[in-house]
Amino acid sequence: MLTTATIGVCYSMGTATIVLFIIKELELAPKYFGVVLTIQGLGALLGAIVAPKASKKFGRSIMMTLGITGSSVILLAQGFSPNIYVFVALATLSGFAIAQWNILLMATYQTIIPNDLYGRIHGTRRTLVWGMMPIGSLLGGVLAHFSLRLPMYVGGVIASLIAISSIKFFMSIAKSVEISE
């Protein structure tokens, strides 16, 4: 939960001013911004379809680890996007990776949290995770005053460091809890 909340702050930091980055830095005409989001959304939908199958084939821990680590590194890489095409490709891949993490994490929670506690635990988790995101957005807005790429650099580096330092824990999830695929 703490990893998700902290990385969520980093993602919010990196994406709070993304519309300005895309329009001003990558020089996309504003009328095409929705197209960028739609393509990214298609990546997330594909990730949602693939998540259960990939989890069965490669293991839940591996797919969760790839999802959270990959999306964190991609956030950093997006800051280096030289043009809209590279950015859209990275954003689509990010949507795919985040869907892997989110779907498999929720399935894990539903498996390990007792039914009589699930509502309270999940409500607390969502309050923490979503409640911290405005802090990330505020920090991203402050950083964007210096450079529109800076929020992705800072958010991406911090998220990547957290995700990489958590790999051992992520890889132990399926081993420490009996999870039927």
Domains and CATH numbers, the chain: 2-176 (1.20.1250.20)
Q: Which amino acid is at 174?
A: A
pLDDT at 29 over 60: yes
pLDDT digits (tens, 9 = 90+) for 42-94: 999 999 999 999 999 998 999 999 999 999 999 999 999 999 999 999 999 99
Phi, psi of 75 (to 5 degrees): -55, -45
Instruction: Return the closest-CA partner of residue 71 out of 3, 23, 173, 138.
Output: 3
- Please say whether the beta carbons of 99 and 80 come within 8 A: no
What is the structure's pLDDT at 180? 47
Per the rule left: phi > 0, alpha: psi between -120 and 50, beta: everything else, 27 is left
> pLDDT grade, residue 39 (50/70/90)?
very high
Is the model's pTM score more than 0.85?
Answer: yes
Burial of residue 30 (number of CB atoms within 10 Å: 0-12, 13-18, 19+): exposed
Per the rule left: phi > 0, alpha: psi between -120 and 50, beta: everything else, 59 is left
List, in order, residues 6 or more apart from 34 with CB less than 8 Å away.
none
